[in-house]
Chains A and B, each alone.
Chain A
Amino acid sequence: MPCMTAVVQTEGLTKFYGKRRGLEDLTLEIRPGEVFGYLGPNGAGKTTTIRLLLDVIRPTRGVARLFGADPRDAAVRGRVGYLPGELALEGREKASEYLAYLAGVRGGIGKGMIETLAERLEVDLSVRMGRLSKGNKQKVGLIQAFMHEPDLLILDEPTSGLDPLVQQEFLAMVREARTAGRTVLMSSHVLAEVEHVSNRVGIVRRGRLVAVEDIAALREKAVRKVELHFDAPVPEEAFRDLPGVRDLKIEGAALSCTIDGRPDALIKAAARFTVVHLVSAEPDLEEIFLTYYSEDVHHAHVGA
């Protein structure tokens, strides 16, 4: 009975805004302790999904459950930390006052949590909210999502508006949450932002989930550029027709190629010569990811 353990579970979840499709027939399970990257271009239905999960909007059809309960149940929302995609913070209230109020409504939080998070993200909470820059608003949003150490974090495009250093700090916070056994659902329109922390990614497009992939499996399928430098020129025949090796180019003592999946065959072939230098670029998951957008063949049915 995997449904008993799922932190997030949806069945046939559908939302139409009038005639306009926001999300159709989403069936998905996110397991405890998992970091799930929810990917798709603008207008794909990510925010719609997330708002349905938090009972901000109500489904046209289908059900959403958090920890096995209806998200309408206020107590269940107490276990969630939520960062909205379009976070609105305004007014003359100081960010620290607003956070204290949120903490109060949540029934209190760990001592010093707000200050620690503010220090990590480097944001000054004594500023009036209406005066915060976009990036600082996003940081305040992250603080309120993390501060009560929720069992489930639902983050809608969390890295938007953050500079790269803060993005790294944020990813570290996500990793720590995962280590602590928490579950994370984060959306993004760029795989690169989530691939280093996610266990699985789901790809949504025009309101439909088109694929769910294990990051490790995706990486295995990934295209990777490799360069090898030898101490002497190598014969091309030694590397011709190796499985998974494409675009082979040999110029004297230098070899470059592209690898689909495992680099095993290439490594074994190269081992017969003296390798002085090896360059392997990070697998370009983006490239595989994009194939999901250009083709409609990947109608992976989740759970099947």
Chain B
Amino acid sequence: MPMLVRKTLREYRRALIGWTIGICTFIGLYVSFFPQMRDNPDFYSQAALAKYPEGVRKLMGGLENFTSGAGFLQAVVYQLFVPLLFIMCAVILGNKAIAAPEESGTLELTVTLPVDRKRLVLERFAALAAGLLAVAVVSLTVLTVLAAAVDMDVPFGRILAAHIALYLLVLFFGTLALTVGAATGNKGLAMGVAGAYAVAGYVFTALSRDSQVMDVLSRLTPFHYYSEGNPLVNGLPVGDCLVLLAGTAVLALTAVLSFDRRDVGV
């Protein structure tokens, strides 16, 4: 493994472990509610309808039919909370790639090493992708085991498809933070841009069924391509995944080129 990738992963290790535990705990808690819901479908459907006003339900993906295995996973795991946590993790790690060490001053020595700047960014990006992949693999494993334990009756292929889409979504936002950091060296800005884009993207996509404007806007955000294909039901949406990947690639390329041409630490 290249030196800088290994070093970056070492820097990520604690954060990766922490976020993995957090995300898996969250998944575990929610999945453990499933048997109750399945056994009292009417009660929980009613309760959800009563508890959340329509607008909120829309933001949470409709909450229709969440007493089936796939509907439940979609609603509690893939719709909002897990993507949200995982995106936060990705943005924080993306910031650790360039902007955070630049603000703390440790990047100065790194850029004077006999390593090309382009390569530095690429290796940090590779470490980000690998680190997030590790979180994805562990959480996928935990989810698969728990889903089987509570007889959720969703095929592994579908969970895998949903998790691949989730990983690509998260990688996109992590890379966005890395790229803003690589272009500006500003941690707060990178966090702000990635956070605002994620929130806006989520809202536009959740409301896209209602309004033409929202629908058009949502297409400019990764959430559209993440949720449109409904992988838990239909399997991997290859075209949408390629859009997410292409977006990430464009961002990574932008990061490489912009970091190569600017002053560090000013």
Contacts and interface: CB of A to CB of B under 8 A. Distances in A.
Interface of A: 17, 51, 54-58, 74-75, 77-78, 80, 82, 84, 86-93, 101-102, 104-107, 144
Which one of B104, B114, B263, B264 has the greatest number of beta carbons of chain A within 10 Å? B114
B127 to A, nearest CB: 13
Task: Tell me if A's interface is mostly helix, strand, loop or mixed.
Answer: loop
Contacts of A55: 111-112
Contacts of A101: 3, 7
B197 to A, nearest CB: 29
29 contacts: A51-B108, A51-B265, A54-B111, A54-B112, A55-B111, A56-B108, A56-B111, A56-B264, A57-B264, A57-B266, A58-B262, A74-B115, A74-B119, A77-B112, A77-B114, A78-B114, A82-B112, A84-B112, A86-B105, A88-B105, A88-B106, A88-B109, A91-B11, A92-B14, A93-B10, A101-B3, A101-B7, A102-B113, A144-B109
Contacts of B109: 82, 84, 87-88, 102, 144
Contacts of B113: 74, 77, 102, 105-106
A75 B261 CA distance: 18
Task: Tell me if B's interface is mostly helix, strand, loop or mixed.
Answer: loop
A93 B114 CA distance: 22
Contacts of B263: 56-58
Given A82-B112, A102-B113, 10 more contacts: A56-B108, A56-B111, A56-B264, A56-B265, A57-B266, A82-B109, A88-B106, A90-B106, A92-B14, A101-B7
B108 A84 contact: yes
Contact of A17 (B4, B7, B114, B266): B266
Contacts of B108: 51, 56, 84, 86, 88
B206 to A, nearest CB: 39
A144 B108 CA distance: 14
Contacts of B10: 93
Contacts of A54: 111-112
Contacts of A74: 113-116, 119
A88 B104 contact: yes
Size category of the binding interface on chain B: 20 to 34
Which one of B105, B109, B262 has the greatest number of beta carbons of chain A within 10 Å? B109
A281 B197 CA distance: 69
B4 A105 contact: yes
Contacts of A17: 266
Contacts of A87: 105, 109
Contacts, number: 67
A109 B109 CA distance: 17
Query: When A and B form their complex, which 3 residue pairs have the shortest distance between CB atoms, in order from nearest?
Result: A88-B105, A78-B114, A57-B263
Contacts of B11: 91, 93
A89 B262 CA distance: 23
Contacts of A51: 108, 265
Nearest to A91: B11
A101 B104 CA distance: 19
Interface in B90-141: 104-106, 108-109, 111-116, 119
A17 to B, nearest CB: 6
Contacts of B104: 88, 90
Nearest to A102: B113
Contacts of A104: 3
A84 B111 CA distance: 12
B184 to A, nearest CB: 15
B109 to A, nearest CB: 6
A104 B115 CA distance: 12
Nearest to A129: B106
A236 B14 CA distance: 80
Contacts of A78: 114
Nearest to B260: A72
Nearest to B103: A88
Contacts of B264: 56-57
A265 to B, nearest CB: 51
Nearest to B104: A88
A76 B115 CA distance: 10
B114 A106 contact: yes
Contact of A105 (B14, B106, B115): B115
Contacts of B261: 58
Nearest to A148: B114
A26 B10 CA distance: 41
Nearest to B261: A58
A55 B120 CA distance: 14
A34 to B, nearest CB: 21
Contacts of B105: 84, 86-88
Given A90-B104, A90-B106, A80 B115 contact: no
Interface string B237-266: 000000000000000000000000111111
Contacts of B114: 74-75, 77-78, 105-107
A104 to B, nearest CB: 5
A54 B112 CA distance: 6
